[in-house]
Amino acid sequence: MAEGHTITVEQGERHVRVVHGDQVLAETDRPLVLRETGCPVRYYIPAEDVRLDLLTPSDSHSVCPFKGTASYWSLPDAPDLVWAYPDPKPEVAEIKDHLCFYDVDVS
């Protein structure tokens, strides 16, 4: 990793709920909490706890030098709202099969 750049992933213990409009898109008691230098805390939610039936895969991809290549999913009125790393780098292997949203409620 770049000097001074760190990423930590730990098992979260808080309840995480993702709502868009009036739809609950995800809800879990077992999020992974990812902290990365210079970025907001992100909650990665197990795929089983995400309403994948409401999301449409996007053609978008982005590359993070620390995490790998991300794939995205959209809602009709919210493009690229959700992302995941299908084949993450070994340092963050635990985020595989987890999805991340831009806006979450944590309780």
pLDDT, one tens digit per residue, over 23-62 is 999 999 999 999 999 999 999 999 999 999 999 999 999 9
CA 70 to chain CA centroid, Å, is 10
Please give the model's pTM, rounded to 2 decimal places. 0.93
Contact between 99 and 84 under an 8 Å Cβ cutoff? The reply is yes
Which has more pLDDT, 94 or 103? Answer: 94
Q: What domains lie within the chain, and their CATH numbers?
A: 7-106 (2.170.150.40)
Could you give the percent of the chain with pLDDT greater than 90?
88
